[in-house]
A and B are shown apart, each in its own frame.
Chain A
Amino acid sequence: MSDLWYSLPALAQDIALTFALLLPALLVGALVLRGFAPWPLTRAILWRFRGASVMFVLLIAISVGMGIGLLAQERGLRRGTAQAADKFDLVVSAPGSELSVMLAAVFLQPTDMPLLDGATYDEIASHENVSVAAPLAFGDSYGDAPVIGTTAEFARDLADDRIEGRMWQASDEALAGALVPLGVGESFTPAHGHGDAAEGDAHGDAHLRIVGRMAPTGTPWDRAILLPVEAVWEVHGLANGHAPERAGQIGPPFDPDYFPGTPAVVVRAEALWANYALRSEFTRDRETMAFFPGAVLAGLYAVLGDIRQVMSLMALVTQGLVAASVLLGLFILSRLFRRQIALLRALGAPARFVFAVVWSFGAALLVAGAGLGLLTGVAAASVLSRVVTARTDILVTAPIGWSEIHFLAGFVSLTLLLSLLPAAIVLRQQVVDGLRA
């Protein structure tokens, strides 16, 4: 049986699971309503108590919507951060914390890092399995924009070769990220450092010009200014990576003797297996550290997975409380129309019909609340995504997924089963007492 389940495509599994979760409610509904048409009476009760009914529906919708929105947001954030690391197959740096280096290289969070020397970079770049070895140079900024030195090849790859204007051709030219407030043709002088501690006049004689703008990448690199790594070295008064007779060269190969150092090298291999081989090769005690940002993120997600479980549990508990409140409310509402129910029974309406009316009243509130809750969840996820994207520069999209649909199906099924209780309680009340109420 499990073999058959695992042989199904993921979509078929999701649909089957949704159906399985809804099945108890469908069966109960079919049994309760079998042979009766209680809807005209149910509609009349809903209209008669429309104020209370609307309140119940809104209460359920908000509770369900917040739960769905938060769960979808967590998944969206995971996807967004993974997408931001997509272009960074393998990162080689000096030994230290993989997380710190990933935050610096992929998410452009400023940090002090030791440098790899020219010989090490040359060994990486000249390895037979390496197709791209892009040195990164951090440390400068312009306003809120980090200024990053790298190679033209990596910049093109980062922007998927979608550059408005042109690529740099000299060490005083730069590319602006999609969100950088500098237009093509404008000039700027980078400050040394970031934020309040940045020294604005440290590189006063450096005047760099924007010659191109990268298409949006949905990553923190959209807010960065990219320039030839040679330019970063030059404004710091260092050798520019090339021997004096080739001082005008931009981009690799670099001369190890004139290579000032780089905190991180983004490495790519043509074959998938070669990335793993390179990782093994450049993981050396006290020399170099090689890691996959994707694997570091996966480790983080594993830790966050526990938080997701807590969030899911909190959402379930909240909805359980709402369901209990709704059931209590249904019972109180049924007291309001106790007289009408007693009259129905006195007129000879079968007990099962009365049961079906009360159950379908509760079911209508719950299903409407859950449906509206789904829409509320979509809206909540969309608003949260915009807030997170604006604050982190990581493009977060959080469409509703199957896990939220399963969550909703489970909620609907469970509450429809629980609504049998108030219907049963109404049926146990004495007809005579009800008529006198």
Chain B
Amino acid sequence: MRTLLLAFALALPLPALAETHDHDAPHLTEIAGLRALHAWTRASPGREALVFVELENTGGGSVLLTGAESGIASDGALVGFVLKDGQPAWETLASVPLAAGRALHLEPGALAIRLSGLSRALTEGDHFELHLETDHGALALHVEVAAADARQHSHAGHSH
């Protein structure tokens, strides 16, 4: 019985640890010199979400961004903001090159990753994984869900 209680007591902090790990998920990820910082999206009950992230190509050659994939969405694509007849719209971009030494900010009113067919609602404080597809492989992003009316990542401006 004592052993059972001890095992139970040891198991108790595990969810808390798991939560801490989620909060401390890295803001910065990298593949082949392509660095991604502060991936975030807005809380949404709908089936679509736009993900924003700061990208920087610190490698020696150009990187081609081709799309995105996430376990919580049926489709992911790079999209660009346009204003059509006074209505905001997002046009799909087949690919976006990022030259060596250049930065690219995916942000509201500009570029974004559009996730379609979300399998669940996104609530503020939530996190999920997303893979940004490039010609150098997939770059893992830890996406933080911000408030529904957020304009930027809560750590925007921190260089980490």
Report which A residues bind B (CB closer than 8 A): 2, 75, 78-83, 85, 272-273, 275-277, 279-281, 283, 292, 294-299, 301
**Contact present for B88 and A298 (CB under 8 Å):** yes
Contacts of A295 in B (CB 8 A): 81, 83, 108-110
Q: Annotate B111-142 by CB proximity to A: 1 below 8 A, 0 otherwise.
A: 10000000000000000000000000000000
Report the minimum CB–CB distance from A311 to chain B (whole Å): 16
**Contact present for A82 and B109 (CB under 8 Å):** no
Q: Say whether B102 faces chain A, with CB atoms less than 8 Å apart.
A: yes
Please judge, given known A-B contacts A273-B93, A276-B110, A295-B81, whether A78 and B86 are in contact too, CB under 8 Å: yes
Q: Which residue of A lies closest to B157 (CB)?
A: A285
Contact of B81 among A79, A280, A283, A294 (CB under 8 A): A294
**Contact present for B81 and A292 (CB under 8 Å):** yes
**Contact present for A273 and B105 (CB under 8 Å):** no
A293-B105 Cα distance, complex, nearest whole Å: 17
Interface centre among B47, B81, B108 (most CB of A within 10 A): B81
Report the minimum CB–CB distance from B52 to chain A (whole Å): 12
A280-B108 Cα distance, complex, nearest whole Å: 12
Contacts of B73 in A (CB 8 A): none
Contacts of A280 in B (CB 8 A): 102-105, 110
Q: Say whether B33 faces chain A, with CB atoms less than 8 Å apart.
A: no
Q: Please report the number of residue pairs spanning A and B whose Cβ atoms sit closer than 8 angstroms.
A: 66
**Contact present for B80 and A279 (CB under 8 Å):** no
Contacts of A272 in B (CB 8 A): 80, 91, 93
Q: Say whether B98 faces chain A, with CB atoms less than 8 Å apart.
A: yes
Contacts of B83 in A (CB 8 A): 82, 85, 294-295, 297-298
Lowest 7 CB-CB distances: which A-B pairs, in order? A295-B109, A294-B83, A78-B86, A82-B86, A79-B86, A276-B111, A273-B96
**Contact present for A277 and B93 (CB under 8 Å):** no
Beyond contacts A280-B102, A295-B108, A296-B109: 16 other A-B pairs, Cβ-Cβ < 8 A, are A75-B86, A78-B87, A82-B84, A85-B83, A272-B91, A272-B93, A273-B80, A273-B93, A275-B80, A276-B80, A277-B96, A280-B110, A283-B105, A292-B81, A292-B110, A298-B88
A273-B95 Cα distance, complex, nearest whole Å: 8
Q: Say whether B24 faces chain A, with CB atoms less than 8 Å apart.
A: no
Report the minimum CB–CB distance from A292 to chain B (whole Å): 6
Q: Could you tell me the dominant secondary structure of chain A's interface residues?
A: helix
Contacts of A281 in B (CB 8 A): 102-103
**Contact present for A276 and B86 (CB under 8 Å):** no
A281-B101 Cα distance, complex, nearest whole Å: 11
Q: Which residue of A lies closest to B149 (CB)?
A: A302
Q: Annotate B61-95 by CB proximity to A: 1 below 8 A, 0 otherwise.
A: 00000000000000000001111111110010101
A234-B112 Cα distance, complex, nearest whole Å: 44
Contacts of A294 in B (CB 8 A): 81-83
Q: Which residue of B lies closest to A82 (CB)?
A: B86
Q: Could you tell me the dominant secondary structure of chain B's interface residues?
A: strand
Q: Which residue of A lies closest to B81 (CB)?
A: A295
**Contact present for B86 and A81 (CB under 8 Å):** yes
A280-B57 Cα distance, complex, nearest whole Å: 13
Report the minimum CB–CB distance from B88 to chain A (whole Å): 5
Report the minimum CB–CB distance from B62 to chain A (whole Å): 11
Contact of A277 among B81, B82, B88, B102 (CB under 8 A): B102
Report the minimum CB–CB distance from A78 to chain B (whole Å): 4
Cross-chain pairs A/B with CB under 8 angstroms, 9 sampled: A2-B47, A78-B87, A83-B85, A272-B80, A273-B80, A273-B93, A280-B105, A292-B110, A297-B86
Q: Which residue of A lies closest to B83 (CB)?
A: A294
Report the minimum CB–CB distance from A97 to chain B (whole Å): 15
Q: Which residue of B lies closest to A89 (CB)?
A: B82
A80-B105 Cα distance, complex, nearest whole Å: 29
Report the minimum CB–CB distance from A280 to chain B (whole Å): 5
A135-B109 Cα distance, complex, nearest whole Å: 24
Report the minimum CB–CB distance from B39 to chain A (whole Å): 16
**Contact present for A298 and B109 (CB under 8 Å):** yes
Q: Which residue of B lies closest to A290 (CB)?
A: B110
Contacts of B80 in A (CB 8 A): 272-273, 275-276
**Contact present for B81 and A298 (CB under 8 Å):** yes
A415-B97 Cα distance, complex, nearest whole Å: 57
Report the minimum CB–CB distance from A230 to chain B (whole Å): 32
Report the minimum CB–CB distance from A417 to chain B (whole Å): 31
Please judge, given known A-B contacts A272-B80, A272-B93, whether A279 and B110 are in contact too, CB under 8 Å: yes
Interface centre among B86, B93, B103, B105 (most CB of A within 10 A): B86
Contact of B109 among A2, A85, A299 (CB under 8 A): A299
Q: Which residue of A lies closest to B84 (CB)?
A: A82
A276-B78 Cα distance, complex, nearest whole Å: 12
Contacts of A292 in B (CB 8 A): 81, 109-110
A267-B86 Cα distance, complex, nearest whole Å: 21
